[in-house]
Amino acid sequence: MYTALAGGVGAARFLSGLVRVVPAPAVTVVVNTADDDIFHGLHVSPDLDTITYTLGGAEHPEQGWGLQGETFAMIDALARYGRPTWFRLGDKDMATHLYRSERLAEGATLSTITGEIAEAWGVSPRLIPMSDDPIATRITVIRPDGTTEELPMQQWFVRERAEPPVTSVRFAGAEAAAPAPGVIEALEAADTILVCPSNPVISIGPILAVPGVRDALVRRRDRVVGVSPIIAGRPVKGPADRLMAGLGLDVSCVGVARAYAEFCGTLVIDAGDAHRCTEVEAVGVRAVVADTLMTDAGVAAALARHTLDAVA
Amino acid sequence: MYTALAGGVGAARFLSGLVRVVPAPAVTVVVNTADDDIFHGLHVSPDLDTITYTLGGAEHPEQGWGLQGETFAMIDALARYGRPTWFRLGDKDMATHLYRSERLAEGATLSTITGEIAEAWGVSPRLIPMSDDPIATRITVIRPDGTTEELPMQQWFVRERAEPPVTSVRFAGAEAAAPAPGVIEALEAADTILVCPSNPVISIGPILAVPGVRDALVRRRDRVVGVSPIIAGRPVKGPADRLMAGLGLDVSCVGVARAYAEFCGTLVIDAGDAHRCTEVEAVGVRAVVADTLMTDAGVAAALARHTLDAVA
């Protein structure tokens, strides 16, 4: 039994490697939902969809979100009505949001619906949203005139291209939320808990903020292994560097180790960061070196193998 | 001032002729909404959309619904989730339903939203839904085994291709509904009231069922002129023949005259039906003959001109 904590594209690639080296049905994935938002009345779950589409073999090969061969007729047509179109919902992708929204309106939980969508894509690992309750990442930025403003995550990341400097991050709703059914059980039952190479602040951070999750991880610390999403001081993709720097974290595998030290006994770092092993171990986290840049499925599978071996 | 009662494609073509012969802002169109339904959680208004798209010059040239150059990626993708896809919502068309649904959820009325959508398409006539309240055409059909079943209109018309024989029709919600703001006023203020060549049973019928509308028409009977949608015993498009026959109405311009006699002083019938003028006039409706088959915009404009002249 393997339980993974996951955000978006980095996690999706890692998980597609993982299911090549262990039986897919033995894998449970707890997915960040604090990036979820309502667009045009529909509930969009970016990380759940990225992981589902990737494990279903239908992800866009480059852009890190959305489907292969996607079209954008609907979102472009919304411009006629003065609606914002910066969040590029594809036509095929829309079907997922329509289905999810209609099922939510019918009273189904997000975790039930997530299972239905995963099944529709032939995804064998069990996907669970971190919570069925709404939790929303809010990012406080500083404007050129020195004032601060709190933005929904997608507005900062997509609309404003992650450009405004970040001063703080919170996960609205987290205190009142409960873990989705099966989350704590999956952490308790797992032989190995994997923290995927995802943004530590806004992908892994919200999962940790769900009451009970961090404590469950702390209790299993020896069985928790993370993969640093930072290679040579930079994220492979996404805004982790701007977020970590804004929150005063060192943008490096050492900064990741420090953020995870309480609940993560082992951290896989990139071969290019091998010279920082001593620094990682100085914060109390065992460092294991591997090739973490997942340029193809073979590398992802090898990384998954190395990650499991690190706590074997 | 001209006020028209309108259903879908026949009305849309007639109205596009009308606005070539009178100033478009002088035209108010009261549109059937009893074909409206919820698909995939979204409020779809087929007749409003057909008229808006046609007056906006964007209608599909042949099929009688939807937009030119439309694609269907979204609806096809919904099949993966086991959702019914027989109601073919196009990707561009979806933007209209999303916008309408989101505005309704915000608390805007259908008539307000209809005005916004019409403006977005550059439509100059004023479009008003017959009511802001939900009214739904329900069609009772007889099955091969002799049992009867009541179906939502789109299910009978689109999903079952209008094949099951009809025994009765009702407009659920009509008794409790109010005319939308401006409907009665537009009927009272009009120099001429036009009953477009639309299905008498399920396009004009629901408008008449809105409390106050039929009475307002009866009071203006001399200024009401209809156009028969039946030519030589057959509708140009759509299931009017099956509905009229099912309800025991004569499928002819005479049957239309009989159905409209109480509130409509004059009926324009096709030149091919000229031999039935005496029968039409025998039910108390003045008959005027014109070419009513709107094969192009010029014919539609000429028909509109003839229709107005009939009560000049």
Q: Domain limits of chain A?
A: 1-38+118-312
Instruction: Tell me the C-alpha to C-alpha distance, in Å, between residue B233 and each of B61, B197, B257.
Output: 25, 14, 13
Strands B166-172 and B224-227: unpaired
Mutation target to probe the A interface, by most A beta carbons within 10 A, among B98, B99, B103 is: B98
Q: Are the CB atoms for B307 and B27 separated by under 8 Å?
A: no
Residues in B touching A123 (Cβ below 8 Å): none
Instruction: Tell me the C-alpha to C-alpha distance, in Å, between residue A234 and each of A253, B103, B252.
Output: 9, 43, 76
Q: How does the average pLDDT of chain B come out, rounded?
A: 96
Q: Which residues is B234 bridged to in the sheet?
A: B231
Average pLDDT, stretch B104-117? Answer: 98
Q: Give the span between the Cα atoms of A179 and B203, in whole angstroms.
A: 51
Report the pLDDT value the prediction gives residue B237, as an integer from 0 to 100: 86
Q: Decide if pLDDT at B22 tops 90.
A: yes
Q: Are the CB atoms for A81 and B120 separated by under 8 Å?
A: yes
pLDDT in tens, B189-233: 999 999 999 999 999 999 999 999 999 999 999 999 999 999 999
Where does the pLDDT of residue B300 fall: very low under 50, low under 70, confident under 90, or very high at 90 and above?
very high
Residues in B touching A101 (Cβ below 8 Å): 41
Closest CA to A127 of A203, A208, A179, A51: A51
Q: Decide if pLDDT at B265 tops 90.
A: yes
Cβ separation B105–A41 shorter than 8 A: yes
Cβ separation B95–A80 shorter than 8 A: yes
Mutation target to probe the A interface, by most A beta carbons within 10 A, among B68, B76, B80, B113 is: B80
Distance from CA of B155 to the nearest CA of A (A): 19
- Write down the residue that tokens 């040239």 correspond to: B61
Report the pLDDT value the prediction gives residue B159, as an integer from 0 to 100: 93
As for the ipTM of the complex, it is 0.91
Partner-chain residue, chosen from B42, B73, B116, that has the shortest CB–CB distance to A71? B73
Distance from CA of A77 to the nearest CA of B (A): 5
Report the pLDDT value the prediction gives residue B225, as an integer from 0 to 100: 98
Distance from CA of A101 to the nearest CA of B (A): 8
| Start-to-end C-alpha separation, chain B | 13
Distance from CA of B108 to the nearest CA of A (A): 14
A/B interface, count of CB pairs below 8 Å? 94
Q: Which residues of B touch A (CB under 8 A)?
A: 40-42, 70-71, 73-78, 80-83, 90-96, 98-99, 101-102, 105, 116-117, 120-121
Cβ separation A81–B116 shorter than 8 A: yes
Distance from CA of A198 to the nearest CA of B (A): 28
Partner-chain residue, chosen from B73, B91, B102, that has the shortest CB–CB distance to A40? B102
Residues in B touching A93 (Cβ below 8 Å): 77
Closest CA to B186 of B111, B117, B109: B111
Q: Give the span between the Cα atoms of A269 and A290, in whole angstroms.
A: 6
Rg of chain A over Cα atoms, rounded to whole angstroms, equals 19
Instruction: Tell me the C-alpha to C-alpha distance, in Å, between residue B237 and each of A227, A257, B62, B229.
Output: 64, 70, 11, 9
Mutation target to probe the B interface, by most B beta carbons within 10 A, among A75, A80, A93, A114 is: A80
Residues in A touching B76 (Cβ below 8 Å): 92
Give residues with Cβ within 8 angstroms of B10, minimum separation 6.
B196, B197, B198, B199, B229, B236, B237, B238, B294
Q: Give the span between the Cα atoms of B155 and B35, in whole angstroms.
A: 10
Nearest CA in chain B to A71: B73
Cβ separation A81–B99 shorter than 8 A: yes
Distance from CA of B104 to the nearest CA of A (A): 10
Where does the pLDDT of residue B63 fall: very low under 50, low under 70, confident under 90, or very high at 90 and above?
confident
Q: What percent of chain B has pLDDT over 90?
A: 96
Residues in A touching B102 (Cβ below 8 Å): 40-41, 83
What are A166's two structure tokens?
Answer: 């970040």
Cβ separation B75–A95 shorter than 8 A: yes
CATH number of A1-38+118-312: 3.40.50.10680
Partner-chain residue, chosen from B40, B94, B120, that has the shortest CB–CB distance to A102? B40
Closest CA to A224 of A262, A178, A198: A262
Residues in B touching A120 (Cβ below 8 Å): 80-82
Partner-chain residue, chosen from A40, A73, A120, that has the shortest CB–CB distance to B80? A120
User: What string of DSSP letters covers A151-203?
Assistant: EEHHIIIIITTT-SPEEEEEEETTTT--BPTTHHHHHHH-SEEEE-S--IIII
Cβ separation A101–B71 shorter than 8 A: no
Report the pLDDT value the prediction gives residue B65, as an integer from 0 to 100: 86
Distance from CA of A15 to the nearest CA of B (A): 23
Give residues with Cβ within 8 angstroms of B122, minimum separation 6.
B56
State the fold for domain B1-133+168-312: Rossmann fold (3.40.50)
Nearest CA in chain A to B80: A120
Q: Give the span between the Cα atoms of B247 and A136, in whole angstroms.
A: 56
What are B157's two structure tokens?
Answer: 């018309």
Q: Are the CB atoms for A275 and A190 separated by under 8 Å?
A: no
- Write down the residue that tokens 């995802």 correspond to: A198
Per-residue pLDDT of chain A (312 residues; tens, 9 = 90+): 999 999 999 999 999 999 999 999 999 999 999 999 999 999 999 999 999 999 999 999 888 889 999 999 999 999 999 999 999 999 999 999 999 999 999 999 999 999 999 999 999 999 999 999 999 999 999 999 999 999 999 999 999 999 999 999 999 999 999 999 999 999 999 999 999 999 999 999 999 999 999 999 999 999 999 999 999 999 988 899 999 999 999 999 999 999 999 999 999 999 999 999 999 999 999 999 999 999 999 999 999 999 999 998
Residues in A touching B98 (Cβ below 8 Å): 40-42, 74, 78, 83
Partner-chain residue, chosen from B71, B99, B105, that has the shortest CB–CB distance to A83? B99
